[in-house]
Structure formats: structure tokens, C-alpha cells
Amino acid sequence: MDSATLIQTLLNSVVTSSVYALVAVGLAMAFGVMKMANFAHGEFFMVGAYTVYVLYQLGGFNFWVAVALAIPIVALLGVATERIIFRQTGANILAGFMATVALGFVLQVAVGRIWGVGLMKRIDTPYMGAADIGDAHVGWQRLLVIPCAIAMLIALRYFLYNAKLGKALRACAQDPEAAALQGINIRNMTMLAMALAGASAGLAGALMAPIAAITPYMGHGVILIAFIVVVVGGMASIGGAVIAAIILGFIHTFVATLTDSLIATMVGVGFMALTLVVRPQGLLGREKS
Amino acid sequence: MLLELKDVWIHYHKVAAVKGISIAVEEGGIVTLIGANGAGKSTTLRTISGLKRASAGEIEFAGERIDRVAPEKVTKMGIAHVPEGRRVFPYMSVVENLEMGAYLRTDKRAIEKGYEEVFEHFPRLRERRKQQAGTLSGGEQQMLAIGRALMTDPKLILMDEPSLGLSPIMCREIAKIIRDLHQAGRTIVLVEQNARLALALAQKGYVLETGRIALEGDAKDLRENEQVKRTYLGM
């Protein structure tokens, strides 16, 4: 690998890691509070991408306005998912699984019906051109994913560790019953977690819209990777999800550049298996007391 | 009466854990529920604080029915619950745990006073205010759980097995704290397997046996009761 390819691959790895982190953090946070996974999380990402497609490409809005709107739109989808699905399923894991898988299909079909299934949607790149770093050549559109993701993650972290509501959310994840005894409304906290999960997945999808292939089914690959990241990080651990996202982002990008993306996925899953053998609770997972 | 349970039944699925008990708690007193494992003591406390639903009967707190009220609302009404096994938030600092106790309160000055009160009762928590709660010793976690309950500014404190798993020295310390709280005018319902400790602290006691009240009365009478002596005090 020459130095240009190396630099380019390194930068691509950081971009990939940023997207993985955004998607996985939401999945981990919602899991932390509900002890249930949202299998429609990949479709949240897809809806984020479609928001940009519809508003920016079809609607003529400014790109950043479209990205900014994707955040509350998908956050609302998260809130709706909590109210319509998780509030009904309660602690029934099987029901939650089936209902959210179904929600994923519903969203895919709905989007396909409205905007078509066939060819992938093309989005005009808002930021043409590329940065020349050494001999490497990386598109601006890719690079700007990095600061956006970092800003979102820092904002989330600040919220969870400094805001009263954020602390209450952490308390719920650690012991929901004890949290209820302090006067914290668990349902509202679950809704908040789902809103934040939607917001971060929506942002990830929106940022990827000009780079990725937009189809109703683009959530599939995303949720698969998000689950691997969250399992490696330690199911409910947000910090673990970020670290695992970085590791897997690098693994996938490098292996895909050197060989192909199928082998990259295999190596990623292999890494997950290895992690689970060495640390069954995940990198930063917490053992049940 | 500050708290009154009238003929309360509690079921786990079809099995009755509590079979029609009536309990009355006067303001400013310590009332204890003693009994063996599985007698229904914790279940009773969990039902008072709304974590579990009573299947029949009434629970009244300060003149209002609370037996259909959600736990966060019960807390708002003034009942704090120090749960069995302490249940502090393990990955939050001591201060953050206390802050969660004050979750429903908005008066900043009153909250500051609350911290001061807790740190006066538990100087050790002040020393460890930045430490993660999960890394505290069992006794310190118990102090934190009690401190967290105090931060809700409760009219009534439910304590579930505060002495469980603690060293004799720590037990004495917890007993002293319960006495201090009582002297400060707090009303306490104390559930204990350590009947000796409980009857020494309380003014009034109820003996639970498989979901029914087998005996009730002044704590000092219960201490002298032959049956209680034999079964619960090991004399």
C-alpha cells in the first residue's frame, strides 16, 4: 500500500467509524433503558437519508437545512416507535422484536411506494471537490461527516453527564426500579432515549445521503453493523459503542480496501466472535451484579 | 394516621403473598414489620411505594388513596423507599445519586440544605462524594441509599432490610442513623429480619407469617412475648 492509499484509507476509516458510532450509540442507549433492541434502527438511518433526498434534492432546500431537519424528524419517529410499539409490548422481548422488525418492513415499503424502488436515488453533491492531503485525495463531502459526528457525540455525552434529564436517563439504564423510586418517570425516559436514538441515526443517514446509495433497503447493512458494534462495545455501553465503532470502522475499511467488502464483513464478525470469547460482556460491558 | 393499609391482598400471579393485612403508621413513629423470609414484608413495602399493585384492599397516605398510584407519583407525595439490597446507581457518583433523589425538587436552596443534612448524617459520604457508588462498601452504599431517600424530602421513609449483609459495627451505625432520623421527626417503616434490632428501634411492631399478621403491638410488649422470643429472638 503506497502512502497515498494509506492516508486515503485512514481518512475513509475515520469517516466510516463516525457513521458507525452515530448509529450504534443510539441503539446502545435505547437498549440500555429498555433492555430491548430496536430492529427498525437501520430504517431510522434510511429515513434520515430520505429526508435529505426529499428536502434537498426534490424540495430544493439548503443541504444543511435538510440535514438539520432530519434530526428532529427521525427523533419523532423514535418517539412514535416508543409510544406505538414499546409501550404496548412492555417487557415482552419477543413482541418487541417482531413489532420492530415489522416496523422496518413497513417503513421500507412505504418509502418504496412513495419514491420508487428501482434505481437508487442520485443526490447532487453539495460540496464538490476534494481535499489533497499528501498524495491522497478525499472528497469534502466525506470529510465533513467527521466533525458533524464528533459534535453530535460530544453533545450527547454532555447531555448525559451534565443535564439533570441526562443523568436521569443514565439512572434508568442502571436500575429502572430504583429510578422510579426517585420520582423519575420511566416511560418518559424511554421516550427520551428513543428520541435521542432517532436523532443520532437520522443525522447519520442524512450525512451519508450524498455519499451512499439511497434505496429503501439501505438500513439492512447498517443495522447489521450497528449490532456488531454494540455487541463488541458491550450492549448498553455508549462509550463502548464508540470505541467499537472506531475499531470496526478501521477493520472494515482496511480489509475492504485490501481485499473486498465481503471479506471485510467476515473479518468484522470474526472480531466480534473473538471479543465475545475473551470478554463476553463486551469491551466496556458491565457484568450483572 | 399518616399511612394506613386496610385489608390489603397482594398476589404474584395466582399466589397470594400478602393475605389481607391492616397496618397503621402514626406520624413521627417507627413501625417495624418483622418475620421470616417470604413472609411478605418486602412485598408490602413495594406495594406501598407503587412498584407492585395490591389486588384488594386500600392504602391511604395522608388521607389520600395511593394503591393505584404510579411509583414516581408516590415519591412526589412524600414516600421514600430505601429498597432491599440498597440499589444505588452503581455507575454514578455519590453526589449524582443524591441528585437523583432530589429529581422532583426544584427549590435550589432547599436542595442545598438537603445535601448538607445528608452529609451531616453521613460524613463519610462527603469524603467520597466523587466516588462511583458501585465501588463503595456495603455499609456506605446503605448510607447512600438512605441519603438518597432523604433527598426526596419525604414525610415517610420505607426501609427494607437496611442491616442485611452488614458487619455488626455497621449495623450499629445504621441503627444510630435510624434513631437520629426518628429524633429529627421522620416517620419510618422498617422491615427487618434482624428482629432484635428492629424491636429495639421501633415503638410498634407487626409480626408477619406467610402473608398474615400473626401478632401486633407495642415493640416492648413484643420483645417480651414468649412466641416472639422463641421464634425471632432465639431465646
**Structure ipTM:** 0.94
Tell me the mean pLDDT in the region A199-225: 94
Residue A286 pLDDT exceeds 70: yes
3-state per-residue secondary structure call for chain B: CCEEEEEEEEEECCEEEEEEEEEEECCCCEEEEEECCCCCHHHHHHHHCCCCCCCEEEEEECCEECCCCCHHHHHHHCEEEECCCCCCCCCCEHHHHHHHHCCCCCCHHHHHHHHHHHHHHCHHHHHCCCCEHHHCCHHHHHHHHHHHHHCCCCCEEEEECCCCCCCHHHHHHHHHHHHHHHHCCCEEEEEECCHHHHHHHCCEEEEEECCEEEEEEEHHHHHHCHHHHHHHHCC
A151 in a structural domain: yes
B96 contacts on A by Cβ (under 8 Å): 167
CB A27 within 8 A of CB A222: no
Using a CB-CB distance cutoff of 8 angstroms, which residues of chain A are in contact with residue B134? Answer: 289
The count of domains in chain B is 1
User: Mean per-residue pLDDT for A3-27?
Assistant: 94
Beta strands B15-25; B3-12: pairing state:
antiparallel
Supply the CATH number for residue B8's domain.
3.40.50.300
Mean pLDDT of A121-141: 85
Name B218's bridge partners.
B204
Residue A40 inside a domain? The answer is: yes
Question: What was the pLDDT predicted at A43?
Answer: 97
Contacts of B152 in chain A (CB under 8 A): 182-183
pLDDT at A71 over 70: yes
Q: Rounded CA gap, B142 and B166, in Å?
A: 9
Phi, psi of A146 (to 5 degrees): -65, -55
| B134 neighbors B91 (Cβ within 8 angstroms) | yes
Instruction: State the burial class of residue B125 (Cβ atoms within 10 Å of its Cβ: 0-12, 13-18, 19+).
Output: buried
Confidence of residue A117 (pLDDT cuts 50, 70, 90): confident
CA distance B188 to B72: 19
CA dihedral of residues B95, B97, B98, B101 (deg, nearest 10): 160
Q: Are B80 and B149 in contact (CB under 8 A)?
A: yes
Distance between first and last Cα of chain A: 47
Q: Round the average pLDDT of chain A to a whole number and report it.
A: 93
For residues A40 and A101, the answer to whether their CB atoms sit within 8 Å is yes
To probe the interface with B, which of A172, A182, A187, A287 has the most B CB atoms within 10 Å? A182
To the nearest 10°, the Cα dihedral for A48, A50, A51, A54?
170
Residue in B with minimal Cα distance to A237: B91
Asked if B71 lies within 8 A of A168 by C-beta distance, the reply is: no
Look at residue B187 in the predicted model and tell me its pLDDT: 96
- Tens digit of each residue's pLDDT (9 = 90 or more) over B82-110: 999 999 999 999 999 999 999 999 999 99
Cβ within 8 Å, pair A177-B51: yes
Question: Residue A152 and residue A4: Cα distance in Å, rounded?
Answer: 30
Kindly state whether residue A210 falls inside one of the protein's structural domains.
yes
Whether residue A88 has pLDDT greater than 60? yes
| pLDDT on residue B102 | 97
Confidence of residue A134 (pLDDT cuts 50, 70, 90): confident
Is A270 part of a structural domain of the chain? no
d(CA A200, CA A19): 10
- Can you tell me which residue has the cell 434502527? A41
- In the predicted model, is pLDDT for residue A115 greater than 50? yes
Segment B131-156 shows an average pLDDT of 95
Q: Within 13 Å of residue A246, how many CA atoms lie on the same side as its CB?
A: 10
Chain A 151-170, residues with CB within 8 Å of chain B CB atoms: 164, 167-168, 170
Question: How many C-beta neighbours within 10 Å does residue B55 have?
Answer: 15
Beta strand residue intervals within chain A, DSSP E: 130-133, 136-139
Q: Using DSSP bridges, classify how beta strands B30-35 and B187-192 pair: parallel, antiparallel or unpaired.
A: parallel
User: CA B173 to CA A3: how far, in whole Å?
Assistant: 67
Q: How far is CA B180 from CA A281, B129, B173, B186, in A?
A: 42, 22, 10, 9
Residue type, A215: T
Domain count, chain A: 1
pLDDT, average across residues A79-105: 94
Cβ within 8 Å, pair B92-A181 = no
The three cell numbers locating residue B4: 394506613
Residue A248 is which amino acid? L
Conformation bin of residue A118: beta by default, left when phi > 0, alpha when psi is -120 to 50: alpha
Q: How confident is the model at residue A123 (pLDDT cuts 50, 70, 90)?
A: confident
Size of interface A-B (CB pairs under 8 A): 69
The answer on pLDDT for A19 being more than 90 is yes
A176 close contact with B: CB closer than 8 A: no
Q: How far apart are CA A253 and CA A18, in angstroms?
A: 12
Confidence check: pLDDT of A288 > 60: no
Minimum CA–CA partner of A168 in chain B = B100
What is the H or E stretch that residue A248 is in? helix A238-258
The position carrying cell 435529505 is A52
φ, ψ for residue B20 (rounded to 5)?
75, 65
Q: Do B72 and A167 touch (CB under 8 A)?
A: no
pLDDT at A289 over 50: no
- H-helix segments, A55-185: 63-81, 87-89, 93-115, 140-143, 145-162, 164-174, 176-181
Taking an 8 Å cut-off on Cβ atoms, the answer to whether A171 and B89 are in contact is yes
Q: What residues in B contact A180, CB-CB < 8 Å?
A: 50-51, 70-72, 75
For A11, residues 6+ apart whose C-beta sits below 8 A from its C-beta are A133, A136, A138, A142, A143
Mutate: best of A33, A174, A181, A284, partner B, most B CBs <10 A: A181
Res. A230 pLDDT band, cuts 50 70 90: very high
Query: A266 phi and psi, to 5 degrees?
Result: -65, -45
CA distance A77 to A79: 5
Taking the CB of residue A94, how many other CB atoms lie within 10 A of it? 8
Q: Which residue of B76, B81, B100 is in closest CB contact with A171? A: B100
| Predicted local confidence at residue B106, as pLDDT | 93
CB A245 within 8 A of CB A229: yes
Question: What pLDDT is recorded for position A287?
Answer: 66
Which residue segment(s) compose the domain that B214 sits in?
3-233
Structural domain contains residue A227:
no
